[in-house]
Amino acid sequence: MILLDGKKTSADIKEEIALDVRELKDNGLKTPHLAAIIVGHDGASVTYVNAKVKACERVGFESTLIRLPEETTEEELLNEIEILNIDNDIDGFIVQLPLPKHIDEQKILMAVNPDKDVDGFHPTNVGKMALNLPTFISATPFGILELLERYNVETSGKHVVVLGRSHIVGSPMSILLSQKRKVGNATVTMCHSRTKNLKEITLQADIIVAAIGIPEFLKADMVKDHITVIDVGITRLADSSKKSGFRLVGDVAFDEVAKKADFITPVPGGVGPMTIAMLLKNTLLACQRKS
Ligand code: GUN
């Protein structure tokens, strides 16, 4: 069994990005600048956004964090987005999700300039991704493609089963892996909460991408031998023995599934760190596109 080490791979990618940034600076070109907007104080979101800002510092990017209170109106948030849209120094920015319930998420994502949409959530960029045209691929699916590529996991002709149909992971992952691309050419089955006979389907999979948000959902009896498993789940379960008061649990019962796996991602240290590295990669691309 080979562990798909996202921590190490993302560190490698960040090192490559840092070298590119150094080269831009040495050539008198612009330093990439990522901005993030966070509304409210959801614990997990604050942690993720802080990690993104810290990662910017590590690779030599400029970063701007805009914290807005929970009561921020949709109009106020749209104003902040417009400021970032027209600020020439900002190469890319993200609006951390989820947003408070009184704000229409779709309206917000559509307000982001597609050229600065390093999350790849704008419908224009989702459409380009679906058509296999150059665009920003969302960080989580992009990170999974990169992890599979760097560990030489064969996807061509394989049966990939994606668990979950979210706009952020399940849906783009299904589209990307079925496309004609370096990591792609797979036969993809997408399963979700209404899928019947799920176990019959997962037992046919060569590769499973688990992105349903149910801790330890995928058990050993649901997979065949030599499976490759990508675990996108990160649920915080209360655990008083931890300093943080919680432990992170994926969508896969790791210990038992790992025994049958050729390749598997751990949680934490698998897909999570890759996501941040690919957000940086998209920001670098946005900056390079301009110069
Ligand atoms: N919330 C969970 N994942 C993401 C992500 O990739 N980008 C943003 N903006 N919010 C998220």
Cβ atoms within 10 Å, residue 8: 13
Nearest protein CA to atom 3 of ligand 1, as residue: 97
Which of 117, 118, 168, 276 most suits a substitution to test ligand 1, by most atoms within 8 Å of the C-beta?
168
Which amino acid is present at 143? G
Fold of 139-271: Rossmann fold (3.40.50)
Distances (CA, A) of 109 to 122, 229, 285, 287: 6, 31, 20, 20
The C-alpha angle 24, 27, 32, rounded to 5 degrees, equals 25
- Binding-site residues, ligand 1, Cβ < 6 A: 94-97, 119, 139-140, 168, 275
pLDDT digits (tens, 9 = 90+) for 69-116: 999 999 999 999 999 999 999 999 999 999 999 999 999 999 999 999
Average pLDDT, rounded, for the chain: 97
Mutate to test the pocket of ligand 1, among 96, 129, 173 (most ligand atoms within 8 A of CB): 96
The ipTM (two decimal places) reads 0.95
CA of 17 to the centre of ligand 1 (A): 21
251 counts as catalytic: no
pTM of the model: 0.97
| CA 137–ligand 1 middle distance (angstroms) | 13
90: region left, alpha or beta (phi > 0 left; psi from -120 to 50 alpha): beta
What span, in angstroms and rounded, lies between the C-alpha atoms of 270 and 266? 5
By C-alpha distance, which of 273, 229, 228, 227 is closest to 248?
Answer: 273
CATH topology of domain 28-113: Rossmann fold (3.40.50)
Contacts of 77 (CB under 8 A, 6+ apart): 37, 39, 68, 95, 99, 103, 108
Q: Mind listing the pLDDT tens digit of every residue in the chain (291 residues)?
A: 999 999 999 999 999 999 999 999 999 999 999 999 999 999 999 999 999 999 999 999 999 999 999 999 999 999 999 999 999 999 999 999 999 999 999 999 999 999 999 999 999 999 999 999 999 999 999 999 999 999 999 999 999 999 999 999 999 999 999 999 999 999 999 999 999 999 999 999 999 999 999 999 999 999 999 999 999 999 999 999 999 999 999 999 999 999 999 999 999 999 999 999 999 999 999 999 976
Which residue in 56, 52, 99 sits closest to 77, CA to CA?
99
Determine whether 96 is an active site residue: yes
Which residues of the chain are in CATH 3.40.50.10860 domains?
A: 28-113
Three-state SS at 187: strand
From 91, 96, 117, 231, the catalytic residue: 96
